Structure 1
Amino acid sequence: MHVDKQKDTRPVFRLTEIISPKEDIEFAIVSAFCWNFAWMYQMFDHKTAVIAVDHNPRGEASIKAILPNWIRTTPFLRGGFGCMHMKFMLLFYKTGRLRIVVSTANLIEYDWRDIENTVWVQDIPKLPSPVAADPKQENFASAMVRVLHGVNVAPALANLLSNDHPNLPLQRIEHLRTHWDWSKVKAALVPSIAGKHEGWPKVILSGHTCLMKSLQDMGGKTPPDKELVLECQGSSVGNYSTQWLNEFYCSARGVSAQTWLDEKKARRAKLPFPPIRILFPTARYVRESVLGEAGGGTMFCRRNQWAGKNFPRELFHQMKSKRGRVLMHSKMVLGTFRDKRGGLDRHARSAARSDSEDEDDAGADSGEKDKRLVGWVYVGSHNFTPSAWGTLSGSAFNPTLNITNYELGVVLPLHSQEEIDRVACWERPPEKYVSGRDEPWIQSESAAFVEEG
């Protein structure tokens, strides 16, 4: 409601339009980090069975009936550290179709009314009859099955089925793979499952190494004659080191973790920063936004981070919404390819079709193989932080990925400069912070958030 009407010319989703028509929804699995349950209860028909995936500050796995036909479930967090940060919905309609929603917004009024968020939605038709699923095949549906098991949905589903809702359209989580037609889905699902993931192939099923595998599968590996440039936009700043930034960049190029782990640790720790632009609002931008400093309550950076000796301050860029002076809670990573000599990628300018298919197109959908990608975009709950994307250790023979949070997003291929410009929700190119003038918004230093004694 705070956007500039002259700039806000593109269609937007309302939550009531996504959860619609509510009387036709038979069952829903809905996840968020922050909830207003009373508000969300009104979004659904009161007869609809709902599993609400939530964060438990103590990190305990639990299920509990909280409203008529509603069960709240929380997943386990090691030592109570981290958070269940996923934001998604599975809406099962009485007609059989399934609506998948992957979002950056929490389920509170503020996120849908006062700040900008991004949502990916696709409807999945039900198959006329179930089909067998290859247990070794990895795709969108198999990733979603792992996600639902990871965030403790299985016991909540069993509870509903054994009590008042024996005829739910989803009888077992695994039926997602066998009862719905996922053939039209072009996005790849990229989850982070909190915990320690050891060995192959476990490390490529979660976190930034899952992003790497998804890019390989869709033909999004950085071509050998190109350089990848990342624009990483979010609402929370991480503890960045040159080692972690290069680790993430390696995966974002579609290069195997084996290559990264084969490098000596001493060399990894001394690499220069890769071509990454970290987008985060400046203190000045927040003050001049529509809601002013009081609207900066969902943007997080700490002074000790910014002032750190080796913190990559030179990578920070302005985060300005295309829709005016509204603050953004979206979380995106935009990867674009440019010529290594520094010029603009001619493929991005013209969206020209590739004359031949090289090894980097391997794994791409047959209908897309003849169209060379100019980049890709991730959107979801992941902020650009090690806690969200994970940290690699171990060896190329036996790697380990440690992840603190539960996160979920999708990655999509981009085929033209027009697509790049359309999907990015910020003004491009982003302006680099000016040293001595620009500093990030630090909530704890604002009078709007000083706790009264």
Structure 2
Amino acid sequence: MSLGKPVEKLTAREVLLGQSSSSTKRPFPSDKTSSSSNVERPLKIPTLPGPTRYWDGVVKLTYVTGFTGPNFIRFEDIVQRNGVKKAVLTAMVVSTDWIEQQFPASANICIVLHGRPAMSRQMSSNRIFIMPPMKDDKFGVFHPKLMLLVHESSLRVVIGSANLEPYDYKDLENVVFIQDFPLLKTKPLDSKTQLKPFAREIYDLLGHMQVPSSVQAELFKYDFSRAKAHIVASVSGVFEGDQYSRYGHARLAKVIKELGAADPNRPPQVEMQTSSLGGLNVSYLNELYRSFSGIEPYANGSKPPRQTKSGTLPPIDVIYPTTDTVNDSRLGPPGASTICLNTSSWRKPTFPKQVMCDAISHRPGTLMHSKYIVTTLKSNKTTPSSSSSSKSDDTTATNNKELKGWVYCGSHNATMAAWGKLSISKDTKKPKMAINNWELGVVIPLYEDSDIPVTYRRPPPRYKPSQNAWTQDMSW
């Protein structure tokens, strides 16, 4: 069993040529049909069910060896190998040998992964590898986990937290959002302006990744009218003026406002589960919380928000494993190579240890590589006004059900590198969002009847005074 190589030791060549063990095949279903009648009947030939399609979107947890359940899904069942014609695969780390085992050799595959310098290379007639540009030569990683899986008559979109290697789909807990989209009943669209918002965000992200235009154009063939989720992406770069809210936590704030969740009378209570932590401090937690509340600080030329009183913590619980949890896990410390917090960051007096909660899995002894934000709103006793301009069409059409909150899942860890830093440009005096990483996730509204699985036990237990966060010294 390979537990993976530390990220800082990966070379571009190793990323492209990474090796891994083969996957476990799913058992073939048995025929349990029987008859107690003596009357001769025509022989019934059992028909195998067709491939599962998630037309309304679903959140699943990745399979972990030794555990079964309706909310768990294997990589093989996500991909559905026999029907794949084309695929776009993105991740920080890609095990190419393993991927070749999971996809037919005839499929056209575009793989986008982390590496420097930026490059694009045609490895064979139907395999292309791309390493997108970064904001600078030292900081940041390409970290989004996106799969576009083209089948005969549908497109499967998968957005999650797992790298493309067997370790992330067998040993660690990860999360995936999956939705299938049918072919349009009409001819393909002519341009991205005709795409629904969900597809348009993906189209733009692929453009920033510098994938071939033919890959982007594949989105023009499908009907995205039933898209369940809202896309939130981060792109490595600096975005000023009107572009500042396109990515990072400023984009999240815009989505929250569109959902109708930006209500000052219903302040959110936030759980933020992460597998990596940076140098958190109270100021940045408050910056994030404003976006979690749907506050766009510079919208319509408004002035910057007042600084929160020093030391005032927002209602955010950060869920990250203690050293005890890692030591007691099934794989122990060697299995936590991708769970990261520098010792020096943890020991800083400015680190807000009061918000820390332990990451305890529903699957005993399993460590999490997932990333969640679970936000709940205070109950609204009055009927919300139908004239609210902040509500999106899909929200107002939900039978007037009360919005209870929202859930984010994807690749964003609880770090400034992932979500970005908002400021005012000294030169242009315009709002500026600076982001080191590439990231991708989805936001889904939460209602009373919503059924969205999470990896960790809720409510998460707060750290005891004697407990410390799992730390390791890594150079990025």
Measured against the shorter chain, the TM-score band is: 0.7 to 0.9
- What is the rounded CA distance, in whole Å, between the counterparts of 1:220 and 1:235 in structure 2? 26
Q: Is the 8 A contact 2:338 2:369 kept in 1?
A: yes
Matched, 1:419 2:450: yes
Pick aligned residue for 2:227 from 185, 191, 200: 185
| 2:438 aligned with 1:406 | yes
Q: Which moved more, 1:299-308 or 1:68-77?
A: 68-77
Q: Which has the higher helix share?
A: 1
Q: d(CA) in 2 for partners of 1:134 and 1:103?
A: 24
Q: Does 1:135 align with 2:193?
A: yes
Deviations along 1:229-250, one digit per CA (max 9) or x if unpaired, are: 1111111012112221111111
The match for 2:147 is 89
User: Alpha-carbon deviations, 1:248-289, whole Å to 9, x = none?
Assistant: 111111111227983467x34736121110000000011111
2:404 corresponds in structure 1 to 374
In the TM superposition, what whole-angstrom CA distance separates every residue of 1:65-124 from its partner, at most 9, and x where no partner exists? 33562111011112222111011111111x231110101100111111111111111111
Query: Aligned with 1:274: secondary structure?
Result: coil
For residue 72 of structure 2, give the secondary structure of its aligned residue in structure 1.
Answer: coil
**What is the match of residue 162 of structure 1?**
none
Query: In 2, Cα distance between the equivalents of 1:199 and 1:174?
Result: 29
3-state secondary structure, aligned to 1:41: helix
- Are residues 24 and 377 of structure 1, via their aligned partners in 2, closer, same or farther at CA, if it must alter by over 3 Å? same
Does residue 32 of the first structure (1) align with residue 91 of the second (2)? yes
Deviations 1:178-225 (A, max 9, x none): 42111101200111011000111x12211111111112222232x232
* 1:218 has 2:259 as partner: yes
Aligned residues: 406
Residue of structure 2 in register with 1:166 after alignment: none
Which residue does the alignment assign to 1:146? 204
1:362 aligns with 2:391: yes
Q: Tell me the CA shift for residue 354 of structure 1.
A: 4.0
Change (3 A) 1:210 1:355: closer
The one-letter amino acid of 2:178's match is: V
- How far apart in 1 are the matches of 2:144 and 2:419? 13
Task: Say which SS state the counterpart of residue 226 (structure 1) adopts.
Answer: coil
Aligned residue identity for 1:19 = V
Q: Pairwise mapping of residues 54-203 of structure 1 onto structure 2 (< 5 A)? A: 54-56=113-115, 58=116, 60-66=117-123, 69-80=126-137, 81-93=139-151, 95-128=152-185, 129-131=187-189, 135=193, 139-154=197-212, 171=214, 173-174=216-217, 176=219, 178-200=220-242, 202-203=243-244
Q: Partner letter of residue 339 of structure 2?
A: M
Kept in 1, the 8 Å contact 2:130–2:211? The answer is: yes
| C-alpha separation in 2, matches of 1:3 and 1:172 | 34
Q: 1:161 is matched with which residue?
A: none
Aligned to 1:196, what secondary structure does the other structure show?
strand
> How much has 1:387 moved relative to structure 2?
0.3
* 1:133-161 CA-partner distances (Å, limit 9, x unpaired): 5739871111101110111213xx5xxxx
Rg larger in structure: 2
On the 8 A contact 1:357/1:369 being kept in 2, the answer is no
Q: Which of 297, 301, 318 pairs up with 1:257?
A: 297
Report the AA paired with residue 11 of structure 1.
Answer: N
| Contact in 2 for aligned 1:261/1:394 (Cα 8 Å) | no
TM-fit CA distance, 1:44: 0.7
| Distance change in 2, residues 1:261/1:296 (3 Å) | farther
Cα 1:398/1:62, change in 2 over 3 Å: same
- For 1:64 and 1:133, the matched residues in 2 are separated by 27
- Does residue 11 (structure 1) correspond to residue 71 (structure 2)? The answer is yes
Does structure 2 retain, via aligned residues, the 8 Å contact 1:361–1:369?
Answer: no
The answer to whether the 8 Å contact 2:341/2:472 transfers is: yes
Q: Which residue in the other structure is 1:242 paired with? A: 282
TM-superposed deviation, 1:379: 0.4
TM-score relative to the length of structure 2 = 0.80
3-state SS, counterpart of residue 375 of structure 2: strand
The one-letter amino acid paired with 1:433 is Y
SS in 1 for 2:177: strand
What residue is the counterpart of 1:42 in the other structure? 101
Superposed CA offset, 1:32-79 (max 9, x none): 1011101111111101110000101x2x22111335621110111122
Which amino acid is the alignment partner of residue 115 of structure 1? L
- Provide the aligned C-alpha RMSD in A: 2.5
In structure 1, list runs of 5 or more residues that go unmatched: 158-170, 339-344, 348-352, 446-453
**Which residue identity is paired with 2:321?**
P
Is 1:438 the equivalent of 2:438? no
| Cα distance in 1, alignment partners of residues 188 and 410 from structure 2 | 30
Structure 2 unaligned spans of 5+: 1-62
Residue 261 of structure 2 contacts residue 294 of structure 2 at CA under 8 Å; is this kept in 1?
Answer: yes
Equivalent residue letter for 1:232: M
Secondary structure of 1:262's match?
A: coil
Amino acid in the other structure paired with 2:231: L
Where 1:173 maps in the other structure, the secondary structure is helix
Task: Give the share of equivalent positions with the same residue, in percent.
Answer: 31
Report if the CA contact (8 A) 2:278-2:342 is conserved: no
CA offset at residue 355 of structure 1? 6.2
